[in-house]
Amino acid sequence: MSKENPKARRNTTVIWLLIAVCIAPVAASYLAYYVWQPSGHVNYGELIEPRRLPDAGFTLADGMPFGWQQLKGRWVLVTADSGSCDAHCYQKLIYLRQIRLAQGKDMDRVERVWLITDAVNPKAEIIARFEGTMMIRAAGGRLLDSFPAHGSLADDIYLIDPLGNLMMRYPREADPRRIVKDIERLLKISRIG
């Protein structure tokens, strides 16, 4: 009976350890790609095909002319609703204001826009309560047709990037805390707005 040489046994162990160290990263990458696939996105809002909005021929609720180039370089939260502003409209306006305020020192990088979809003038108390929200008369124009809606245009909140592209939408009953997180993330990584 021959005894196994301890030196040869140690050499064989070292070789197998080297092989395992070389194969482990490849095996881990296959497992990560085929077995534990990432969810694909971290954003809460639904990304939509970026599109430019018509830029001319609009007025603010106070009659001043408006063009989207005025907001270039800023992230813009947009809602569309009747000037009579029902409870859901009012809630969306609160969300827009609070989402912007939640950005802290970066809140000046975010604007709020309310597209008024009819000829009704908003009540004075709503205008005062949401001071700073740009209220744009959009009834009858091609602007409203630029927004892809799930159902009613009044259901969604939209996001426009600093280059003026409509790029994301949040559905009715969206969680405002998750919208805040999306905006925070965008402001953190954005170099243009």
Give the CATH number of the domain where residue 164 resides: 3.40.30.10
**One domain, residues 54 and 21:** no
If you average pLDDT over residues 5-14, what whole number do you get? 82
**One domain, residues 22 and 53:** no
CB atoms within 10 A of CB 64: 9
**One domain, residues 102 and 136:** yes
**39 — pLDDT class (breaks 50, 70, 90):** low
Closest CA to 95 of 161, 156, 160: 156
**One domain, residues 25 and 65:** no
Backbone angles phi, psi at 187, to 5 degrees: -65, -35
If you average pLDDT over residues 101-130, what whole number do you get? 96
**One domain, residues 57 and 23:** no
Q: What is the pLDDT of residues 52-85, one digit of tens each?
A: 988 777 889 888 999 888 999 999 999 999 999 9
**Model pTM?**
0.78
Give yes or no for a contact between 114 and 133, defined as CB atoms under 8 angstroms apart.
yes
Closest CA to 126 of 85, 79, 71: 85
Range of the domain at 9: 1-37
CA distance 35 to 16: 26
For residue 26, the model assigns a pLDDT of 83
Q: What is the domain count for the chain?
A: 2
CB neighbour class for 10 (10 Å; exposed up to 12, middle 13-18, buried from 19): exposed
Per-residue tokens: 6: 């301890």
**One domain, residues 167 and 78:** yes
Q: Tell the residue number behind the tokens 């826009």, with chain if given.
A: 113
**One domain, residues 141 and 181:** yes
For residue 116, the model assigns a pLDDT of 96
For residue 140, the model assigns a pLDDT of 81
**157 — pLDDT class (breaks 50, 70, 90):** very high
**One domain, residues 162 and 68:** yes
**One domain, residues 87 and 10:** no
Give yes or no for a contact between 136 and 58, defined as CB atoms under 8 angstroms apart.
yes
**One domain, residues 32 and 53:** no
**One domain, residues 169 and 103:** yes
**One domain, residues 51 and 127:** yes
Kindly give the residue spans of alpha helices, DSSP state H, lying in 5-109: 6-34, 87-101
What are the angstrom distances between the C-alpha of 155 and each of 31, 67, 178, 181?
41, 24, 17, 20
CA distance 92 to 188: 24
